[in-house]
């Protein structure tokens, strides 16, 4: 119990900036546009506020107010939207903010695992992927996860979904719920779910999936800080128990994202700790490296 309190205190201190920063950025709309005025001027930037009469646009050098009666056309800025797509996920999990219809991004994780995130409708998204080494066996390790998210307030989203994962021959299915506060560049999420179907090697698993706390902070146009934190609270035996130790245990992934116009590199490390063992600082000092690369193939409709 003392170990659990120690980890929870450290986690609270570490995640506080993610939660506070997400709450302090309510004005951003995550919409990058190119505005052509009737007088021939062209403005390019991010909409940070909009009313029936005017648009507040943040450009590269300043913030301007544009009267809606004075612009001729307005369309999504392709390069700005690409940055938004790559910032809509953490290392492995996604935020509760859906992709826009037609948006598609691909991600390669540690060379062998590949996945795609697809915006199907305004509120429905799909994540799917597979592992290359097992693909040759015709019984690949894979996952597929549709999710439905809706806004319940300004920059507050809730979502539900279903995830099927494992090998084709032995798949487990779970449902999950997620709450995200903030925008796709800077946000904080909490999620968990219920196991619906477990294969033979997970027969002893209890019903609750890991509780996850995740966050991302965009420091500037180039760099973001990312953190994923998962807690397994039951004492059942499964494959992770053999690797990490007896449950309950903690597994975290922390690092930075290097943002480009249509792509991003995620560089970080994974650490873990079993609460049944004596607290060991080496679990956090000697981590496993994490590396992934993301690319935005489709940015959806470029018309607003």
Domain ranges of the chain: 2-26+80-299
pLDDT in tens, 124-133: 999 999 999 8
CA gap 285, 303 in Å, rounded: 48
Give the pLDDT confidence score for residue 103 in this predicted structure: 84
pLDDT in tens, 65-84: 988 888 888 876 555 555 56
Q: Which of 296, 258, 254, 257 is nearest to 99 (CA)?
A: 296
Give the pLDDT confidence score for residue 29 in this predicted structure: 47
Give the pLDDT confidence score for residue 46 in this predicted structure: 78
The yes or no reply on domain 2-26+80-299 and CATH 2.40.160.40 is yes
Residue with tokens 């930075």: 256
Tens of pLDDT along the chain (304 residues) come to 444 455 455 455 455 555 555 454 444 445 678 888 888 888 888 788 888 888 888 876 788 898 888 888 887 655 555 556 666 788 888 888 888 888 888 999 988 899 999 989 988 999 999 999 898 888 899 999 999 999 898 789 999 999 998 888 888 888 999 999 987 778 899 998 888 877 655 554 556 678 899 999 888 778 889 999 988 776 454 545 555 445 577 888 999 999 887 788 999 988 877 666 555 555 555 567 889 999 888 766 544 4
Give the pLDDT confidence score for residue 168 in this predicted structure: 86
């Amino acid at each position: 119990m003392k170990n659990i309190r120690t980890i929870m205190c450290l986690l609270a201190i570490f995640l506080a900036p993610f939660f506070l920063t997400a709450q302090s950025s309510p004005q951003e709309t995550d919409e990058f546009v190119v505005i052509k005025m009737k007088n021939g001027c062209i403005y390019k930037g991010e909409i940070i506020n909009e009313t029936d009469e005017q648009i507040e646009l943040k450009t590269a050098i300043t913030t301007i107010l544009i009267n809606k009666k004075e612009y001729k056309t307005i369309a999504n800025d392709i390069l700005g939207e690409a940055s938004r797509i790559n910032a809509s996920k953490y290392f492995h999990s996604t935020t509760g903010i859906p992709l826009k219809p037609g948006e598609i991004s691909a991600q390669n994780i540690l060379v062998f695992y590949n996945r795609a995130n697809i915006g199907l409708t305004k509120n429905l998204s799909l994540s799917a992927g597979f592992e290359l080494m097992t693909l040759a066996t015709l019984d690949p390790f894979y996952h597929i996860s549709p999710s439905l998210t809706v806004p319940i307030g300004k920059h507050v989203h809730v979502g539900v979904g279903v995830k099927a994962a494992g090998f084709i021959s032995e798949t487990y299915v779970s449902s999950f719920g997620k709450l995200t506060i903030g925008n796709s560049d800077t946000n904080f999420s909490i999620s968990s779910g219920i196991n619906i179907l477990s294969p033979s090697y997970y027969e002893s698993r209890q019903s609750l999936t890991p509780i996850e706390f995740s966050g991302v902070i965009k420091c500037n146009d180039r760099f973001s800080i990312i953190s994923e934190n998962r807690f397994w609270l039951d004492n059942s035996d499964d494959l992770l128990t053999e690797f990490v130790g007896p449950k309950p245990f903690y597994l975290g992934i922390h690092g930075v994202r290097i943002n480009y116009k249509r792509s991003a590199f995620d560089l970080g490390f994974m650490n873990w700790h079993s609460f049944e063992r004596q607290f060991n600082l080496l679990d956090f000092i000697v981590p496993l490296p994490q590396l992934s690369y993301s690319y935005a193939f489709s940015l959806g409709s470029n018309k607003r």
